[in-house]
């Protein structure tokens, strides 16, 4: 079972599963966080690789989950579905709690009853909050999330451990560090900046441009998800990042270079919930599951801009 399989990461991972000969059941509700047509286009791309079962619905719908788990037997579950985004969570904290936390609990309970052997859950680097120690290690305290979104992701890690402890379920939680690449959500910085710079419109830059992010290319994330599933025994948390950082100003300059256009900067104050840096220590994932990211920012932005131009002209 693959939740959120029509989204950015989910559609790429579905392709991987189909290429490897697996049968895939996708659960996705095509919510209006961004244009649902984008997700349907994602699945059109996936269908070029192979066939899958698509179930449209909400993971908080108890009756729907009952029907799904009564009709299908799963040997693994990869749970990528969530309400995403730090800033929107400030405005809709109850929605984020219901979907991200309650939805995850309902899935885990059905997985417990069915005896699913391996479960991978998407977490987020946002759980580290304003962590002053860099790079961020899975052993660092993460008790001070600074957005409802981050708090829900930490809550999911906690409830996952509880299910592991009580029912000996094999669960791995993955802290993704700013994933980018073809099909990236349109609200994410790289996609948004590329679109606006290409159109000659101002890009909103929050703060002085010195904030740093550990951006992770989609193919590296997909490799990490698969390796996590292959090694899913007990309970584990892994950082999946590139373990390299780039400032916001450097990122904009790189996109300018690849597009061949200059950005118009709309300077704005730092936003509540934003963190000054994300930086992954990936030594645990390297040692325990063989995670080894390959794509640096220059290569990744080249690939993204190439995809963007193809989509923009199609």
Model confidence over 174-230: pLDDT tens digits? Answer: 999 999 999 999 999 999 999 999 999 999 998 889 999 999 999 999 999 999 999
- What's CA 185's distance to the chain center, in Å? 10
CA 119 to chain centre: 16
**Residue 198 lies inside a defined structural domain of this protein:** no
Burial degree of 233 (CB within 10 A; 0-12, 13-18, 19+): exposed
Residue 53 domain flag: yes
Query: Active-site positions?
Result: 149
Confidence of residue 292 (pLDDT cuts 50, 70, 90): very high
Q: What is the pLDDT of residue 311?
A: 87
Domain that holds residue 70: 2-180+217-243+281-293
10-21 mean pLDDT: 98
pLDDT tops 90 at residue 274: no
Structural domains of the chain, count: 1
Name the token pair of 39.
């997700």
Residues 138-155: tens digit of each pLDDT: 999 999 999 999 999 999
Q: Where are the alpha helices (DSSP H) in 72-102?
A: 86-91, 93-96
Q: For the domain that residue 149 is a member of, what is the CATH number?
A: 3.40.50.720
In which region does residue 168 sit, left (phi positive, over 0), alpha (psi from -120 to 50) or beta (all else)? left
Taking a C-beta distance cutoff of 8 angstroms, is the pair 5, 82 a contact?
no
pLDDT band at residue 130, thresholds of 50, 70 and 90? confident
Asked whether residue 107 is domain-assigned, the answer is: yes
pTM above 0.75, yes or no: yes
- Answer whether residue 312 is part of any domain: no
- Residue 109 belongs to some domain of the structure: yes
In a domain, 98, yes or no: yes
Mean pLDDT of 237-257: 96
Average pLDDT over residues 287-303: 97
Q: Round to whole Å and give the CA distance between 203 and 187.
A: 12
Nearest to 244 by CA among 135, 93, 168: 135
187 is a domain residue: no
pLDDT value for 199: 95
pLDDT per position as a tens digit, 63-110: 999 999 999 999 999 999 999 988 899 999 999 999 999 999 999 999
Whether the per-residue pLDDT at 273 is higher than 90: the answer is no
Higher per-residue confidence, 254 vs 269: 254
Q: How confident is the model at residue 314 (pLDDT cuts 50, 70, 90)?
A: low
Please name which of 6, 27, 7, 17 lies closest in space to residue 229, comparing C-alpha atoms.
Answer: 17
pLDDT > 90: what percent of the chain?
A: 90
Q: Over 70: is that where the pLDDT of 234 sits?
A: yes
- Give the model's pLDDT for residue 276: 83
Residue 263 lies in a domain: no
What's the mean pLDDT in 52-59?
A: 97
């Amino acid at each position: 079972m693959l939740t959120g399989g029509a989204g950015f990461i989910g559609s790429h991972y579905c392709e991987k599963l189909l290429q490897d000969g697996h049968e895939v059941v996708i659960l996705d509700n095509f919510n209006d966080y961004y244009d649902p047509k984008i997700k349907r286009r994602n699945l059109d791309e996936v269908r070029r690789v192979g066939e899958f079962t698509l179930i449209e619905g909400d993971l908080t719908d108890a009756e729907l989950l009952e029907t799904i788990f009564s009709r299908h037997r799963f040997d693994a579950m990869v749970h990528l579905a969530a309400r995403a985004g730090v800033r929107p969570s400030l405005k809709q904290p109850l929605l984020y709690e219901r979907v991200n936390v309650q939805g995850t609990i309902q899935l885990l309970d059905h997985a417990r009853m069915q005896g699913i052997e391996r479960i991978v859950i998407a977490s987020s680097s946002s759980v580290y909050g304003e962590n002053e120690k860099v790079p961020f290690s899975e052993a660092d305290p993460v008790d001070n999330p600074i957005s409802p979104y981050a708090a829900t992701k930490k809550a999911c890690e906690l409830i996952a451990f509880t299910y592991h402890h009580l029912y000996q379920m094999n669960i791995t939680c993955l802290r993704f560090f700013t994933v980018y690449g073809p099909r990236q959500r349109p609200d994410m910085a790289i996609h948004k900046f590329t679109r606006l710079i290409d159109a000659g419109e101002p890009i909103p830059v929050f703060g002085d441009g010195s904030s740093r992010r550990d951006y992770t290319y989609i193919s590296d994330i997909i490799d990490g998800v698969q390796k996590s599933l292959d090694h899913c025994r007990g309970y584990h948390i892994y950082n999946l990042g590139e373990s390299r950082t780039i400032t916001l100003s450097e990122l904009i300059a790189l996109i300018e270079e690849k597009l061949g256009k200059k950005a118009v900067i709309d300077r704005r104050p730092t936003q509540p919930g934003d963190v000054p840096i994300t930086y992954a220590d990936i030594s645990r994932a390297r040692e325990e599951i063989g995670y080894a990211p390959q794509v640096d920012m220059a290569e990744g932005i080249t690939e993204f801009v190439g995809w963007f131009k193809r989509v923009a002209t199609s």
